[in-house]
A and B are shown apart, each in its own frame.
Chain A
Amino acid sequence: MKSFDVTTTATETKVAIRGSLDINSAPALNEEVDKIIAVKPARVLVDLAGLELIDSSGVAALVKLYKGIRGGGGAITIANARDQPLAIFKLLRMDKVFNL
Chain B
Amino acid sequence: MPAPIRLVVPGSLRYRAIAVRVVAEAARLVSCSKVANPNDPLAHDVRDPFDTAVVSAFMEIFNNVAIHAYKRRASGMIELTLTPTDTDLTIEIKDQGSPFDIEEVAPLPEELDEDSLPEGGMGIHIAKTMLDEVHYEPGPPNLWRLCKRLHVHTARPT
Which A residues are within 8 Å of any B CB, using their own CB? 19-20, 22-24, 52-53, 55-57, 59-60, 63-64, 66-67, 70, 83-84, 87-88, 91-94, 96-97
Contacts and interface: CB of A to CB of B under 8 A. Distances in A.
Contacts of A22: 16, 59, 63
Majority secondary structure of chain B interface residues (helix, strand, loop or mixed): helix
Interface string B107-133: 010001110011110110110011000
Contact of B126 (A66, A88, A97): A88
- 4 tightest Cβ-Cβ pairs between the two chains A and B: A52-B44, A56-B122, A56-B123, A55-B59
Q: Chain A contact residues: over half helix, strand or loop, or mixed?
A: helix
Interface stretch (B49-57, B75-83, B87-95, B137-145): B49-57
B116 to A, nearest CB: 9
Interface of B: 13, 16-17, 20, 43-47, 49, 52-53, 55-56, 59-60, 63, 67, 108, 112-114, 117-120, 122-123, 125-126, 129-130
Contacts of A70: 114
Given A22-B16, A83-B52, 4 more contacts: A52-B44, A57-B63, A59-B122, A84-B52
Contacts of B53: 87
A84 B53 CA distance: 8
B122 A97 contact: no
B49 A52 contact: no
Given A52-B44, A53-B46, A88 B119 contact: no
A87 B46 CA distance: 11
B44 A60 contact: no
